[in-house]
Amino acid sequence: MTVGLVTAAQGGIGRAVVERLLAEKIVSRVIGVDVVEPSAPSPEGAEFVCCDLRSEEGLQELADAVPPELSVLVNVLGGERQPPLSKIEDVAWPPPEVWEDIVDLNLSGVYRLTRLLVPRLLSGSVICTVSSIAATMPWTVSPAYGAAKAALEHWSLSLAVLLAEDGIRVNLVRPGFVWSRQWQLVDRDEFESLARDRVPLRQVSGPARASREQSGTDVADAIAYLCSSSARHVTGQAINVDGGAALVRAAR
């Protein structure tokens, strides 16, 4: 039996990844991890562990629940705490505790989990981590977030080299504007405005051209490819799944 593990598995991207890994038969069993209980029935082959991966207790709980052999590790967990630990007066200089919290969630937490599970990854296994287009350009809305994702990518590329001898591939995906639990705590109108302004790709829907909102499934499709045998020679790569948003931002 091949087993995969997906973090933030109750979010839009995470749950889509769980479903896609099973539907494409990339693994036969998926362990989904999140701090919240499942809100819907689990697909066949999926099981969920509810624990806080940012705590030592949560990591130990997960270690006890995970089998000794894994084939796929998908690090989805990331983003920013909402509301932040302290009020942010100036995004360029958030309070130190907010900066450290963002870095921990997007970088150090991924390191701790991956370090815990790498000994269980079989030869031919895959690590796929969710980054962001914020890693590749100035991200003035939250420089701490962009910096953490950039560091995550640098570390992941180094890990791809270090684990290559063990036959373990390491890749990333960079989502653009995906409606998520984090955005739900901000504002839907602001999200739609940003997406209209910064996502140039328009997809055909029926006889007329219309915009289609990017979904967690779009990101999960790219992750499923990177975790599949079709990508057996792909490692140390990052795929933008953003409707061209990074192109537009880079051109400005």
How would you label 83-92 residue by residue, b for 16+ Cβ within 10 Å and e otherwise?
eeeeebeeee
Instruction: Give the model's pLDDT for residue 1.
Output: 85
Residues in contact with 153: Cβ distance below 8 Å, sequence separation at least 6, in sequence order: 131, 135, 172, 238
Threshold 0.75, pTM exceeds: yes
Q: Measured between alpha carbons, how far is 89 from 106 in angstroms, rounded to an integer?
A: 22
Q: CB–CB of 152/131 below 8 Å? A: yes
Q: For 57-109, how does the pLDDT look when each residue is reduced to its tens digit (9 = 90+)?
A: 999 999 999 999 999 999 999 999 988 999 999 999 999 999 999 999 999 99
- Which pLDDT band holds residue 208 (cuts at 50, 70, 90)? very low
CATH number listed for the domain at residues 3-186+216-243: 3.40.50.720
Q: Measured between alpha carbons, how far is 74 from 40 in angstroms, rounded to an integer?
A: 21
Instruction: Give the model's pLDDT for residue 193.
Output: 58
Sheet harboring 3-7: ordered strands across?
46-50, 29-34, 3-7, 70-75, 121-130, 169-175, 238-241
- Which pLDDT band holds residue 40 (cuts at 50, 70, 90)? confident
Q: What is the average pLDDT across 184-200?
A: 59
Instruction: Give the model's pLDDT for residue 182.
Output: 56
The helix or strand, by DSSP H or E, that contains position 37, with its residue range, turns out to be: none
Q: For 5-34, how does the pLDDT look when each residue is reduced to its tens digit (9 = 90+)?
A: 999 999 999 999 999 999 999 999 999 999
Instruction: Give the model's pLDDT for residue 203.
Output: 53
Residues in contact with 192: Cβ distance below 8 Å, sequence separation at least 6, in sequence order: none
Nearest Cα neighbor of 114 from 175, 158, 180, 173 is 158
